[in-house]
Amino acid sequence: MDIYWLGQACFRLKSKNATVVIDPYDPDFTGLKLPKDLQADVVLTTHDHKDHNNVSAISGPSGATPPSFKDPGEYEVAGAVVTTISSFHDNSQGSERGKNIIFHLLLDNLNIVHLGDLGQAKLTEEQIAQIGQTDILLIPVGSVYTIDAKAASDIVSQLEPKIIIPMHFKTEGLKFELEPIDNFLKEMGAEGALPQPKLSITKEKLPEEPQVVVLSKS
């Protein structure tokens, strides 16, 4: 399994049988550039904001628009099992920014959880049960529109992943003023984490203790 971060909350997950893109953004809206000719077997969008829902930017293997899921349920495409969990984009039951989808993906026997623009300071017991096992957690840490570094650290404790990949933080070129990743790294005691271009991982190579992995934008 190879995991690439494309900026903001956008990731490309490449397993043996399937490629999944999550939360592709509008480059004009964000100020960030997506890679050209981005292809996937399935596209996932956590909510309908322009920095997360640019499905038309992704083509399928045949050139057609790939299937996209954002409604509650469980789906399977090309060996990827996708489960959706409802959550909120704010800490006020969605009254400020609406709902947000959490995705649990089973790829290459790895349990990957993408929290989208989660704004809840804590997950509920029901949400934790629905999410289930979490090997790799993709979590927003930049505050302002999502949880901040402290809340992100608390949610890491709730889900107990082996690998934590921060997203949705201040980056060069981004038009939004978010908090820097340094705040989260300090909370996690991972100040020395150096960005790497991708994460290549298998179930057998998961670390014994939780590890923060910082990805550089692809």
Rounded CA separation 19/16 (Å): 8
Q: Check residue 73 and give its pLDDT.
A: 83
Question: What is the three-class DSSP state of 129?
Answer: helix
Q: What are phi and psi of 152, to 5 degrees?
A: -60, -40
CB 47 within 8 A of CB 116: yes
Q: Which two tokens stand for residue 12?
A: 């490309």
Residues of the chain with pLDDT under 70: 92-98
Q: Which two tokens stand for residue 215?
A: 């990805």
CB 22 within 8 A of CB 168: no
CB 184 within 8 A of CB 152: yes
Domain that holds residue 112: 2-212
- What total number of domains does the chain contain? 1
The DSSP bridge pattern shows strands 19-22 and 42-44 to be parallel
Q: Check residue 86 and give its pLDDT.
A: 92
Q: Does any domain span residue 217?
A: no
The DSSP bridge pattern shows strands 2-7 and 80-88 to be unpaired
Sign (positive or negative) of CA dihedral 70, 74, 75, 76 = positive
Q: Does any domain span residue 195?
A: yes
Residue with tokens 């993709």, as numbered in its chain = 138
Q: Does any domain span residue 201?
A: yes
Q: Does any domain span residue 193?
A: yes
Residue with tokens 């960005």, as numbered in its chain = 195
Radius of gyration for the alpha carbons in the chain, expressed in angstroms and rounded: 16
Work out the end-to-end distance of the chain between its first and last CA atoms, rounded to an integer number of angstroms.
16
Q: Does any domain span residue 218?
A: no
Q: Does any domain span residue 175?
A: yes
159: domain CATH number?
3.60.15.10
Q: Does any domain span residue 71?
A: yes
Q: Which two tokens stand for residue 117?
A: 């623009």
Q: Check residue 99 and give its pLDDT.
A: 83
Q: Does any domain span residue 10?
A: yes
pLDDT single digits (tens) 148-182: 999 999 999 999 999 999 999 999 999 999 999 99
pTM equals 0.94
CB 104 within 8 A of CB 131: yes
Rounded CA separation 114/84 (Å): 10
